């Protein structure tokens, strides 16, 4: 613990006060810990966003493939129906 003396007017009125230096250090450590925590949380959030973006892209690709298959199935069905109506 750090102490310093303050003098008010005469020598007989001297008091010891606790320096806020130790509190400052504790506060600084807490702030640094908070900054580290927030940086980790930011990295986690960025990673989650990237995963969600990849999942969105995968689902879009899957949807496009399903739409192409539906169109192909409809064309095939139409071709089969036309063949049956000609017979």
* Tens-digit pLDDT profile for residues 30-44: 999 999 999 999 999
Q: What percent of the chain has pLDDT over 90?
A: 57
Distance of alpha carbon 87 from alpha carbon 75, whole angstroms: 19
Instruction: State pTM to two decimals.
Output: 0.56
Secondary structure element (H or E) that encloses residue 65, with its range: helix 21-86
Read off the DSSP letter of residue 6: E
- Plot region of 78 (φ>0 → left; ψ -120 to 50 → alpha; else → beta): alpha
pLDDT of residue 21: 72
Tens of pLDDT, residues 6-57: 555 555 444 445 556 777 788 989 999 999 999 999 999 999 999 999 999 9
- Report how far Cα 74 is from the mean position of its chain's Cα atoms: 44
2 confidence band (pLDDT: 50, 70, 90): very low
Secondary structure element (H or E) that encloses residue 14, with its range: strand 14-18
pLDDT of residue 4: 46
């Amino acid at each position: 613990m750090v102490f310093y003396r303050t003098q008010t007017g005469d020598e007989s009125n001297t008091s010891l006060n606790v320096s806020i230096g130790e509190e400052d250090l504790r506060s600084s450590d807490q702030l640094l810990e908070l900054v580290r925590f927030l940086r980790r949380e930011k990295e986690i959030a960025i990673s989650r966003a990237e995963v969600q973006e990849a999942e969105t892209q995968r689902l879009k690709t899957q949807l496009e493939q399903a739409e192409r298959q539906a169109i192909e199935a409809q064309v095939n069905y139409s071709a089969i129906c036309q063949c049956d109506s000609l017979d």
